[in-house]
Chains A and B, each alone.
Chain A
Amino acid sequence: MSRNRLDYLDELEAEAIYILREVAGQFEKPALLFSGGKDSITLVHLAIKAFRPGKFPFPLVHIDTGHNFEETIQYRDEMIARIGEKLIIGHVQDSIDEGKVIEQKGKNASRNALQTVTLLDTIAKHGFDACIGGARRDEEKARAKERIFSVRDEFGQWDPKRQRPELWNIYNGKIHKGENVRVFPISNWTELDVWNYIRRENIPLPTIYFAHQRDCITRNGQLMAASPFLNMDEEDVVTRKNVRFRTVGDMTCTAAVESYAFEIDDIINEIAESKISERGARMDDKVSEAAMEERKKGGYF
């Protein structure tokens, strides 16, 4: 390490830990949103570094669509047992049962959009004033403009034109009652940074990130895992493929990529040479060019 500048992973780690500690210092009731994906797993690892030997000053919150990969849920439960922190689960099924949202119909039905409602209800129910998330600015154009402390109104909405100036590393977490702040400690990380960090720190991941055999169908040019949650018809041909997932969302909206990357080194090589960006494998962004911006304004993470 040069004496003047930290190595980039040390720099990114130090910044993320600093942001997590700012959340602890500035808010009364924060929460860490845990999706089971590699980015939120990285956040948990960073929180361990930020607060041990103390406990986390916040619970983990998982919004469970009910359509998750079972490997994700298994990972989540094992991780919680290992780290001994509190987990709160918000169920999209509850929102459906309460009539707050209606299950989508048709071939491309997904619960991805519904989880925004469950998330906002969970935030309101527990009175969370800050929600830490694993979004990164390199994921998507709208995210490239989001602040590290991003204020949401009581409807969970993001207003890109009314963002607070954010200077130096001074984060303004002051809010009115009913508002909350979404905090993104790994804003400045790229997908490759996350993978390199996971490798360096030996962070365990759900198995679906690594190449495995799975029954898949091709839809809208993308490989989807065949599952009871996906509305399939006779046109859908199931084939067994060697695949892995680059992001872990709902089974109905997360596309697989064909891959023989069985080890983390293989994955890093694959990404370094990759010609498709990470969110390119998310069908939920494909709807229109401004898809992410619109969903963020509506309260999506």
Chain B
Amino acid sequence: MDILKFITAGSVDDGKSTLIGRLLYDSDAILADQLEALHASNRKNDDGTIDLAILTDGLKAEREQGITIDVAYKYFETDKRKFIIADAPGHIQYTRNMVTGASNADLAIILIDARKGVVEQTTRHSFLVSLLQIQKVVIAINKMDMVDYSEDTFNSIVADYQKIAAKLGITDVTFIPVSALKGDNIVYPSTTMSWYTGDNLLQHLETVEVNRDNTAAHARLPVQWVVRPQTDELHDYRGYAGRVASGAFKVNDKVTILPSGFTSTISKIEMYDKEPAEALAGMSVTVHLKDNIDISRGDLIVNSAGEPQLSSAIEADLCWMDTRGLDTSLTYLVQHNTKTVRCKIREILYKVNINTLEKDFDEDFKLNDIGRVVIKTAEPLAFDPYQENKANGGAIIIDSRTNVTVGALMLRQSAE
């Protein structure tokens, strides 16, 4: 059994919290005492049924305001799969929270209110999904009960959305008509939409295939920690510990260490008391090399047959996440996998109006702004374009005055 991580994008008005609540409620993922608290709450729907949205409202401040401020993680499982939901807020002022939630998602559910169809927010969420390169997209057309479960309405929204998907290069989209409030097509098939013959939402989540990049060409191991016991019996033991970011390493593979460029051969792969023949993407391993090379935290071990780019001037997409705007005169830190170096934003190429997707050339890069920049780093980064290999193409910017994470970078290409 594997784990599917997904994000839900949409606002309270679209019924996002109700959709998640419904998914948890109908799949029996709510325990008795939580259910008791739910029934005891005085928040009810208009028809007197319990408001399932309460299940996802975590913080007191959020309950008071009736909105979702931060990403909340929810866990449930069926006999086919385990699920981690990142429930992110949908309003534009929480774009950074959605980007946070989207960064680890295999799949995104974008909600559309059937009464309103494709709106500005749909475009924005879809843009973020494509920016963060989420593999699979589900368009849940919600509140079908409010449009008499009309197939025509559904079809016209599908047609509208396909235009956006084409524009953004989103290729893997599944459309499902649902009513989170009434429970249609969430966990149980709808009795009112016989015209829809596809999977319901849970069936789709249980069976959709998501893949990890396990090709040798993309074998990347960021070194986190060097294991050197330096005891009498393990005097020469030197293992490089890390989690394989992408690809696969085998014993006897020729590898290159970056940024130094030294080469060697893998002599042994360890996982505590096991010695697997292969280290696959996602595994935390300790690797030994035939040659004694100076390697430390922050170095990247890659398969010599497919080296990444190595550059200290890099074009990247940037999402700004701090209330203090971007200052091109400041020196920031950039953290890319296990490596942290100083950097500057050398140039702002453009910003994107994320509601209309039009380019914007004003120089002011503020909270929740997204655009394209060129960064200059104090030491070269060994990266892959985010579009090709997410695991080695994402980085964060840290403001060294506050130590806060202020930006998310999707690296694109060397700009040297």
A residues near B, CB below 8 A?
2-8, 10-15, 17-18, 21-22, 24-25, 48-55, 57, 137-138, 141-142, 144-145, 160-161, 163-170, 172, 174-176, 187-188, 190, 274-277, 280, 289-290, 293
A157 to B336, CA, bound (A): 28
Best-surrounded residue of A7, A10, A145 (most CB of chain B within 10 A): A145
| CB of A166, distance to nearest CB on chain B (Å) | 6
Q: When the two chains form their complex, are residues B103 and A168 in contact, meaning their CB atoms are under 8 A apart? A: yes
B84 — which chain A residues lie within 8 A by C-beta? 188
B74 — which chain A residues lie within 8 A by C-beta? 138, 144
B residues near A, CB below 8 A?
1-3, 31-34, 37, 57-61, 69-75, 77, 82, 84, 96-97, 99-100, 103-104, 210-212, 214, 224-225, 227-229, 231, 234, 237, 241-243, 271-272, 280, 282-284, 297, 321, 333, 335-338, 390-391, 394-396, 398, 400, 403-405, 408
Q: When the two chains form their complex, are residues A160 and B224 in contact, meaning their CB atoms are under 8 A apart? A: no
CB-CB nearest in chain B for A179: B403
| CB of A286, distance to nearest CB on chain B (Å) | 10
Q: When the two chains form their complex, are residues A169 and B58 in contact, meaning their CB atoms are under 8 A apart? A: no
A4 to B16, CA, bound (A): 30
A172 — which chain B residues lie within 8 A by C-beta? 335, 396, 398, 403-405
Q: When the two chains form their complex, are residues A275 and B284 in contact, meaning their CB atoms are under 8 A apart? A: no
The 6 closest A-B pairs by CB, nearest first: A275-B32, A280-B33, A17-B284, A174-B403, A5-B2, A277-B31
A8 — which chain B residues lie within 8 A by C-beta? 1-3, 82
Q: When the two chains form their complex, are residues B99 and A290 in contact, meaning their CB atoms are under 8 A apart? A: no
A6 to B280, CA, bound (A): 9
A5 contacts which of B212, B228, B231 (Cβ < 8 Å)?
B212
Q: When the two chains form their complex, are residues A167 and B103 in contact, meaning their CB atoms are under 8 A apart? A: yes
| CB of B330, distance to nearest CB on chain A (Å) | 15
Q: When the two chains form their complex, are residues B227 and A7 in contact, meaning their CB atoms are under 8 A apart? A: no
A119 to B231, CA, bound (A): 33
A11 — which chain B residues lie within 8 A by C-beta? 2-3, 282
CB-CB nearest in chain A for B274: A49
A187 to B33, CA, bound (A): 21
With A50-B284, A276-B32 in contact, is A25–B224 under 8 Å at CB?
A: yes
With A6-B282, A145-B70 in contact, is A50–B241 under 8 Å at CB?
A: yes
Q: When the two chains form their complex, are residues B398 and A14 in contact, meaning their CB atoms are under 8 A apart? A: no
Main secondary structure of the interface of A (DSSP, over half): loop
With A5-B2, A165-B408 in contact, is A55–B229 under 8 Å at CB?
A: yes
A165 contacts which of B33, B104, B321, B390 (Cβ < 8 Å)?
B321
What are 17 A-B contacts defined by CB distance under 8 Å?
A: A5-B210, A13-B284, A14-B284, A18-B243, A25-B225, A51-B225, A57-B225, A142-B59, A144-B72, A144-B74, A165-B99, A167-B396, A169-B104, A188-B73, A188-B75, A190-B75, A280-B32
Main secondary structure of the interface of B (DSSP, over half): mixed
A21 contacts which of B31, B60, B103, B284 (Cβ < 8 Å)?
B284
| CB of B172, distance to nearest CB on chain A (Å) | 16
Q: When the two chains form their complex, are residues B394 and A168 in contact, meaning their CB atoms are under 8 A apart? A: yes
Q: When the two chains form their complex, are residues B394 and A167 in contact, meaning their CB atoms are under 8 A apart? A: yes
A163 to B72, CA, bound (A): 12
Q: When the two chains form their complex, are residues A48 and B272 in contact, meaning their CB atoms are under 8 A apart? A: yes
CB-CB nearest in chain A for B404: A164
| CB of B159, distance to nearest CB on chain A (Å) | 33
B69 — which chain A residues lie within 8 A by C-beta? 160-161
Given A21-B242, A141-B57, A190-B77: 17 more A-B contacts, CB < 8 Å? A6-B283, A11-B282, A13-B284, A18-B284, A50-B284, A53-B237, A138-B74, A145-B59, A165-B97, A165-B396, A168-B104, A174-B398, A176-B403, A274-B31, A276-B32, A277-B32, A289-B37
CB-CB nearest in chain B for A289: B37
A170 to B222, CA, bound (A): 11
| CB of A179, distance to nearest CB on chain B (Å) | 8
Q: When the two chains form their complex, are residues B224 and A53 in contact, meaning their CB atoms are under 8 A apart? A: no
B400 — which chain A residues lie within 8 A by C-beta? 174
A290 to B41, CA, bound (A): 13
A276 to B35, CA, bound (A): 10
A163 to B70, CA, bound (A): 9
Q: When the two chains form their complex, are residues A165 and B405 in contact, meaning their CB atoms are under 8 A apart? A: yes
Q: When the two chains form their complex, are residues A17 and B243 in contact, meaning their CB atoms are under 8 A apart? A: yes
Q: When the two chains form their complex, are residues B2 and A293 in contact, meaning their CB atoms are under 8 A apart? A: no
Q: When the two chains form their complex, are residues A170 and B272 in contact, meaning their CB atoms are under 8 A apart? A: no
A120 to B52, CA, bound (A): 38
With A165-B96, A188-B84 in contact, is A10–B228 under 8 Å at CB?
A: no
A276 to B400, CA, bound (A): 45
A137 to B57, CA, bound (A): 14
A280 — which chain B residues lie within 8 A by C-beta? 31-34
A190 — which chain B residues lie within 8 A by C-beta? 75, 77
| CB of B17, distance to nearest CB on chain A (Å) | 13
A148 to B249, CA, bound (A): 28
Q: When the two chains form their complex, are residues A290 and B60 in contact, meaning their CB atoms are under 8 A apart? A: yes
CB-CB nearest in chain A for B283: A14
A18 to B224, CA, bound (A): 8
A280 to B30, CA, bound (A): 13
CB-CB nearest in chain B for A163: B70
| CB of A6, distance to nearest CB on chain B (Å) | 5
A167 contacts which of B59, B61, B100, B242 (Cβ < 8 Å)?
B100
With A18-B284, A165-B405, A170-B335 in contact, is A7–B1 under 8 Å at CB?
A: yes
A243 to B288, CA, bound (A): 48
Q: When the two chains form their complex, are residues B70 and A160 in contact, meaning their CB atoms are under 8 A apart? A: yes
CB-CB nearest in chain A for B396: A170
A174 contacts which of B1, B333, B338, B390 (Cβ < 8 Å)?
B333
A3 to B96, CA, bound (A): 33
A57 to B297, CA, bound (A): 15
Q: When the two chains form their complex, are residues B243 and A14 in contact, meaning their CB atoms are under 8 A apart? A: yes
CB-CB nearest in chain A for B391: A168
Q: When the two chains form their complex, are residues B241 and A21 in contact, meaning their CB atoms are under 8 A apart? A: yes
A21 to B224, CA, bound (A): 6
A277 to B282, CA, bound (A): 30
